Amino acid sequence: MEKVGYAQHLKGHFFDKAWHESVKDDAWIKSQDYKANREPMLALCLRYGLLKDLKQSFYDLIKCDFRSEALLILPQLPNEELEKSIYFALKLNRINMAKEILRRYKGTVYYTIMLEALIEGTQYCSIETHAETLAWLRALLSDYSFSPLILRDILKDLISVDGTGNPNHLAISFQILPDVARQLISITCKYPEEQEMVSDLLNQTYFAVMREANARALNDGNVGCENLALKTLQKLHAIYPPPIGL
């Protein structure tokens, strides 16, 4: 009962109205006075079922970038929250939090879901996390063998990205396109029935990159995007011949 009392005492400090207010101004909860108590407090609250809303607490912890505490709650959440939490973390530029969530499920059936979430989530990444996000995507693609179906879907998502108002998302899409195409070509060597479908999709990819680059150059004067598109086309050309007439 003493432990329960202690947990309730700590819960009173952190998970009442003051906790939710701390999301708006969390300087006090990050102070050294509370730092040592957050994780043991949360462990006790979980052990004795004192948290009324696990999901809300989990997302509040992500907002404050309290990784170790958020990961204590993660295993108790339903599977559908995994993908949502990746989106949420990326939207707040908590890229290391997103990495930690994914690392817990690497090698499972959720790995594919997480990659798709990350591809979609690149629209939220700031210019500061651009390079890190790109490196992470490339690492995921090289570390895991995805099915042709998944890779085709990812490629379709990438070539449908609209750069209007979000050039960073378009830039990441352009840069990761050749990596996805390379893995898709490599894996379809084992599946002859996929080759014609892949060929059509890669032809679409060439034209989509050119079309988007021209649109950005004409509408936004974004020459940088046009230059990046040319580099992407060169990389695509190195792994697959361009369509006739290009």
246 residues of the chain, pLDDT tens digit each: 445 555 555 555 555 555 445 444 444 445 555 566 677 777 777 777 777 778 888 888 888 788 888 888 888 888 778 778 887 887 787 878 887 887 776 554 556 666 666 666 666 666 666 777 778 778 777 777 777 888 888 888 888 877 676 777 788 888 888 998 998 888 877 777 777 778 888 888 888 888 887 777 666 666 677 788 888 888 988 888 877 665
CB 243 within 8 A of CB 203: yes
Residue 189 near residue 135 (C-beta atoms within 8 A)? no
Based on its alpha-carbon atoms, the radius of gyration of the chain, rounded to whole angstroms, reads 22
This prediction's pTM: 0.64
Distance CA 238, CA 242 (A): 9
Characterize 54-87 residue by residue with b for buried, 16 or more Cβ atoms within 10 angstroms of its Cβ, and e for exposed.
beebbbbbbbbbbbebbbbbbeeeeeebbbebbb
Task: For residue 185, give the 3-state DSSP assignment.
Answer: helix
